[in-house]
Amino acid sequence: MFTGKTKRVVAVHDLSGVGRVSLSVVIPVLSNMGFNVSSLPTSILSNHTQYPSFSFLDLTDEMRKILAQWKLLDIEFDAIYTGYLGSVEQVNIIKEFVCENKRNDTLIMIDPVLGDNAKLYANFNEDMVIAMRKLIGVADVVTPNLTELFFLLDIPYSEYNGDEELKILMLELSKKGPDIVIITNVPEKVNPHITSVYAYNKKGHRFWKVTCPYLPAHFPGMGDTFTSVITGALLQGDSLPMALDRAAQFCYQGIRATFGYEYDRREGIMLEKVLRNLELPIQVTSYELI
Ligand code: PXL
């Protein structure tokens, strides 16, 4: 029966008060793209963990209570989208939640947040990596950065990798479960002014690459912005390469809109300045089949 209701996305991320990461990014992006975002907060922080100090309230027990209530209320989910999880226990709770609630048409999007620049984030250790390897087994789509890709595959980190090497690595990761593997923010050895996104889709066995200009600035939360747009685009019915183009272009617009200001970059991109661009049809596509 056609109901016309908006699709519900459960967003499983922390809420960081300062610094635009996690729920502070996921909710505006996905509601702007027309989705009903139901938040399952994993923790509350004063600010994200790339500041020298932060307060941290763990919500593991509350997550169990929230999920029990949703079950009682027969809430149904069109997508489950996870990002920063605070502990191994939380990863296990989410794995069980996904297994219990996955229908044939539910999108399970796992951003395996573990680290960046060849290092794990503060608070994370090898146990978290092992738990995340199991969680990606129930995913439809995963979006690791290079650091997370190598940790998930349990092979030593290498910063520069050619297309053929990345294809093999994506294929290996997809063998652990997900139909779609997307690697974000891949640097190019020969040209430091560009950055690429690579993707593999098991259905059709095709590999894609989208290349973007690179600006020399690090903004926390870019991974959350990127994966939120991919989630929204796939739920709206975009093909994988179109979703990659939309997400890469949106991130680039956000960085361009912010880069020119004298500004504490730890705050993340000025999302508010570009959020309305998500409503515009894409003007130029640059994806390649590799
Ligand atoms: O996905 C980025 C992110 C999310 N949440 C917290 C973080 C970070 C990155 O530093 O610290 C709490």
| Integer angstrom CA distances of residue 201 from 109, 140, 218, 229, 265 | 14, 10, 28, 18, 34
Asked if the structure places residue 67 within a domain, the reply is yes
- Centre of ligand 1 to C-alpha 103, Å, is 29
Q: Write down the pTM of the prediction.
A: 0.96
Q: Is the pLDDT of residue 160 over 90?
A: no
- Centre of ligand 1 to C-alpha 17, Å, is 11
CB 45 within 8 A of CB 17: yes
Ligand 1 within 6 A of CB of 115: no
CB 198 within 8 A of CB 146: no
Q: How many CB atoms lie within 10 A of CB 233?
A: 22
> Domains in the chain: how many in total?
1
Asked if the structure places residue 49 within a domain, the reply is yes
Q: How confident is the model at residue 215 (pLDDT cuts 50, 70, 90)?
A: confident
Asked if the structure places residue 2 within a domain, the reply is no
Q: Is the pLDDT of residue 214 over 80?
A: yes
Asked if the structure places residue 172 within a domain, the reply is yes
Q: Is the pLDDT of residue 2 over 90?
A: no
pLDDT at 4: 81
**pLDDT 10s digits, 90-142:** 999 999 999 999 999 999 999 999 998 899 987 899 999 999 999 999 999 99
Mention every residue, 6+ apart, whose C-beta is less than 8 A from residue 43. Answer: 14, 15, 56, 57, 58, 59, 84, 86
Q: How confident is the model at residue 283 (pLDDT cuts 50, 70, 90)?
A: confident
Which ligand 1 atom sits nearest the alpha carbon of residue 45? 12
**pLDDT 10s digits, 236-280:** 999 999 999 999 999 999 999 999 999 999 999 999 999 999 999
Among protein residues, the one whose CA lies closest to atom 1 of ligand 1: 221
Ligand 1 within 6 A of CB of 23: no
Ligand 1 within 6 A of CB of 49: yes
Among protein residues, the one whose CA lies closest to atom 6 of ligand 1: 48
- Centre of ligand 1 to C-alpha 265, Å, is 14
SS3 at position 80: strand
Asked if the structure places residue 3 within a domain, the reply is no
pLDDT at 285: 85
- Centre of ligand 1 to C-alpha 115, Å, is 9
Domain that holds residue 98: 8-289
Instruction: State the first-to-last Cα distance of the chain, in angstroms, to the nearest integer.
Output: 40
Name the more confident of 8 and 5.
Answer: 8
Asked if the structure places residue 87 within a domain, the reply is yes
Q: How confident is the model at residue 41 (pLDDT cuts 50, 70, 90)?
A: very high
Asked if the structure places residue 220 within a domain, the reply is yes
CATH of the domain at 150: 3.40.1190.20
| Angle separating helix axes 126-135 and 146-153, nearest 10 degrees | 90
pLDDT at 115: 92
Q: Is the pLDDT of residue 1 over 80?
A: no
